[in-house]
Amino acid sequence: MLAADFLACDAFDRRADVAAIATPALILCGDADRMTPVKYSQFLAAEMPDARLIILPGAGHMSILEPSSRPAVVDAIERFVETLR
Q: What gap in Å lies between CA 30 and CA 59, rounded to an integer?
A: 4
Tens-of-pLDDT digits for all 85 residues of the chain?
A: 889 988 998 898 888 999 999 999 999 999 999 988 999 999 999 999 999 999 999 999 999 888 889 999 999 999 999 999 8
Q: What are the chain's domains?
A: 2-83 (3.40.50.1820)
- CB neighbours of 41 closer than 8 A, spacing ≥ 6? 27, 28, 29, 53, 55
pLDDT at 44: 95
- Taking the C-alpha atoms of residue 35 and residue 2, their distance in angstroms, rounded to an integer, is 10
Closest to 28 (Cα-Cα) out of 17, 36, 20: 36
Distance CA 3, CA 16 (A): 26
pTM above 0.85, yes or no: no
